């Protein structure tokens, strides 16, 4: 079960709602592949061999798109065998956003003050 979070900037009052973690539907690589664009989807699916289990970790993580000034969650998939990582793109502009490691140290994409706060507002699955 994932968490639904609200990110609030204490300086300019901007707000974003993001889901983090992963849901029940993310237990299968086939389904995760569908969250990505055509190229990555093909690549992930080409790793799938019938009857074989591929170890992976998956979660939605917070990211920040510098281009359109948005904080949103993107799918992050890591194939454990070779450490390959697939990070989703910004839904608005298609650029690769930067993953947010620590929200307290991340500048607000609108006013650039590092005063973002997170609040847990619910769960999703
Ligand atoms: Zn701000
Ligand atoms: Zn963007």
Domain boundaries, the chain: 2-124
- pLDDT band of 33, cuts 50, 70, 90: very high
- pLDDT band of 24, cuts 50, 70, 90: confident
- Ligand number nearest CA of 90 is 2
- Contacts for 14 with CB less than 8 Å, ≥ 6 apart: 8, 108, 109, 110, 111
Give the C-alpha distances (Å, rounded to integers) separating 105 from 77, 101, 108. Answer: 24, 8, 9
- pLDDT band of 51, cuts 50, 70, 90: confident
pLDDT at 67 (0 to 100): 93
Centroid of ligand 2 to alpha carbon of 112 (angstroms)? 16
Q: What angle do CA 9, 10, 14 make, to 5 degrees?
A: 35
Centroid of ligand 1 to alpha carbon of 115 (angstroms)? 7
What's the CA gap between 59 and 118, in Å, rounded?
18
- Ligand number nearest CA of 89 is 2
Centroid of ligand 2 to alpha carbon of 64 (angstroms)? 8
pLDDT at 23 (0 to 100): 87
Centroid of ligand 2 to alpha carbon of 87 (angstroms)? 14
Question: pTM above 0.85?
Answer: yes
Cβ atoms of 25 and 121 within 8 Å: the answer is no
What's the CA gap between 72 and 80, in Å, rounded?
25
- Ligand number nearest CA of 91 is 2
């Amino acid at each position: 079960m994932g968490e639904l979070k609200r990110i609030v900037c204490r300086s300019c009052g901007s707000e974003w709602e993001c889901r983090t973690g992963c849901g029940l539907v993310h237990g299968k690589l086939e389904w995760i592949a569908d969250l990505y664009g055509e190229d990555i989807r093909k690549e992930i699916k080409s790793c799938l061999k019938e009857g074989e289990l591929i170890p992976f970790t998956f979660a939605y993580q917070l990211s920040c798109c510098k281009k359109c000034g948005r904080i949103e969650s993107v799918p992050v998939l890591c194939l454990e065998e070779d450490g390959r990582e697939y990070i989703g793109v910004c839904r608005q502009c298609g650029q690769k956003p930067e993953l947010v490691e620590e929200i307290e140290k991340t500048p607000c994409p609108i006013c650039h003050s590092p005063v973002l706060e997170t609040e847990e507002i619910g769960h999703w699955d």
